[in-house]
Amino acid sequence: MEFGRLITAMVTPFDGDGQINWTAAGEMIDYLIGEQQSDSLVVCGTTGESPTLSDDEKLALFRYAVERAAGRCRIIAGTGSNNTAHSIHLTQLAEEAGVDGILLVAPYYNKPSQEGLYQHFAAIAAATSLPVMLYNVQGRTGVNLSVETTLRLAELPNVAATKDCASLEQLTQIITGAPAGFRVYSGDDSSALPALSVGAYGVVSVASHIVGTKMKRMIEAYVGGQVAEAAELHRECYPVFSGLFNCPHPVPNPVAVKYALTLKGMSVGGVRLPLVEATESEKTFISKLV
C-alpha cells in the first residue's frame, strides 16, 4: 500500500454544539486533497481530537472519509489506544469501514515495557490485513518506542511504516536498520526536511492544512535533487511549522490550526474540552501566519 509522501493528520470539524459538522468534514477532505495536495489523510488522530471522539463517531468518520475521498487519496484510521483489546476491536471495525491503513499510537499512561509495546502492536497487526503505521510520540505517551522494538515490529508482514517524533538520531538508526520497503515518516513538520535528508520517506503533517502545497513542492524538490530549492521552501514554511505549536508559547494541537483554518474561511468550529480555544493574544499571533 502506497501512502505517499505528504500525509495530513486531519482536524475534525465541529458545529456550534460541539458535534461533528459533516458538511464541513466533506469540504475539508476535498480541500486537503485538492488544494493542499495531500496523498493520504489520517482520520481520528491526535489532530482530529481522537481522545474526545466516541467509537461511534470514529467509525462514522472512517466511513464518511472513505466515501468522500472516493479513491482520490488513502484514508488512514487512527485506532490506537492504551487498551490492546479495544484497539483490536476498533481496528477490525475500521477495516470493515473500508479504510486503507491503520495508525497505531504507542500506548499512553500505562507505560509498558519494550516487550509490552511489541506485544501490543504485534497483536493488533495480527488482527487485520491492513497495512499498519506505528506512531511514536513520547511527549504525549510517556514512553519511547525504541529503535530495536521498531525494527523488530518492522519485520512483521503488514507493519509498513512508522511515524516517529523522536530525535533525528533515532530516525537515522531506524532508517539504517529497517527492512526494504519499510517507510519512515517524520511526525514533526519542522523536522520534515532534515528527516528526508537522512532517508525518511515523508511527513505526517499538521501544517499541511495551511501550507500543504509548499510542503509538497519542498518534498518533490528534495527528492528531485533540488536541495537549495527544498531548503528555501522549508524556510518559507518554518514560521507556520513552529507557530502552530508555539504561538508565541506552546499551545495544544489542534487549537492553533483550527483557528488558522477558520481565518482561511473553513468552518471547522472549536475544540472539545479539555482543550479550549486560543486566547486573544494567540489569535493575533496565528493571524500573522496565514
Asked whether 95 and 59 are in contact (CB, 8 A), the reply is no
What value does the mean pLDDT take over residues 49-71? 98
Separation of alpha carbons 11 and 195, rounded Å? 24
pLDDT at residue 27, as a whole number: 98
pLDDT at residue 198, as a whole number: 97
The beta strand positions in 120-158, using DSSP E, are 132-136
pLDDT single digits (tens) 238-262? 999 999 999 888 999 999 999 999 9
In 3D, which of 230, 236, 243, 237 has the Cα closest to residue 193? 230
pLDDT at residue 248, as a whole number: 81
Mean pLDDT of the chain: 97
pLDDT(1) > 80: no
Domain spans of the chain, in order of start: 6-287
Separation of alpha carbons 167 and 258, rounded Å? 27
pLDDT(48) > 90: yes
Asked whether 223 and 171 are in contact (CB, 8 A), the reply is no
Give percent above pLDDT 70 in the chain.
100
Amino acid identity, position 47 = T
pLDDT at residue 166, as a whole number: 93
Q: Does domain 6-287 have CATH number 3.30.70.260?
A: no
pLDDT at residue 249, as a whole number: 86
What value does the mean pLDDT take over residues 157-185? 97
pLDDT at residue 65, as a whole number: 98
Positions annotated as catalytic residues are 135, 163
Separation of alpha carbons 254 and 28, rounded Å? 15
